[in-house]
Amino acid sequence: MFIIEGNGISIYCDSSNYNECHIDVGYYSNVDKELYDMLNQNEKNAIDSILNNRSYDNRMKRIELNYYINKNVSQETLKKYSKILSNRINKQVQDNLRKSGIYDPCFPFCNGVRNELNNLSDKITQQVHNSLKKSGIFDPCFPFCDNSNPMFKNYKRRNY
């Protein structure tokens, strides 16, 4: 079982080939545009009906959306959406690493393996560390990020 979370949306998938996925739209009861675009017209109409129901507060919309999506949207659609969400989070992680000042001082030492970072997906939290270690990126790069590296000191001064 693993969890992908982004923008308040959580997807729980069975880790053995995504046999079964469940979604939680989150407190703000939104349906992400990418997921919405993957739905057929009947599913879109049902979701619009839930979202536009003025008698529902956010909590009730969340309950109804989660129930409807998990019961009626195909597992294939949820699997595809989990990969889209996973890739979006992966891109955000890389962008934040670049903005934080960690990426540039560490990853230039990784000759020819940047593409492996772009292929990290799915089980983001656990897989990032495992994939970095397995790919050989972790050891050659992160030792350059220790306390003695001037770029690391610059990063620490920024108080991120």
pLDDT for position 89: 77
* 125-134 long-range Cβ contacts below 8 angstroms, 24+ apart: 125/3, 126/2, 128/93
13-63 confidence digits (pLDDT tens): 776 665 788 888 877 667 888 889 999 999 999 999 999 999 999 889 999
- Looking at every residue in the chain, the average pLDDT score rounds to 71
> Is residue 1 predicted with pLDDT exceeding 60?
no
pLDDT for position 159: 42
pLDDT for position 47: 94
Please indicate whether residue 143 or residue 76 has the higher confidence score (pLDDT). Answer: 76
Domain boundaries, the chain: 2-82, 101-157
pLDDT for position 55: 96
Cα(2)–Cα(152) distance, integer angstroms: 32
pLDDT for position 30: 76
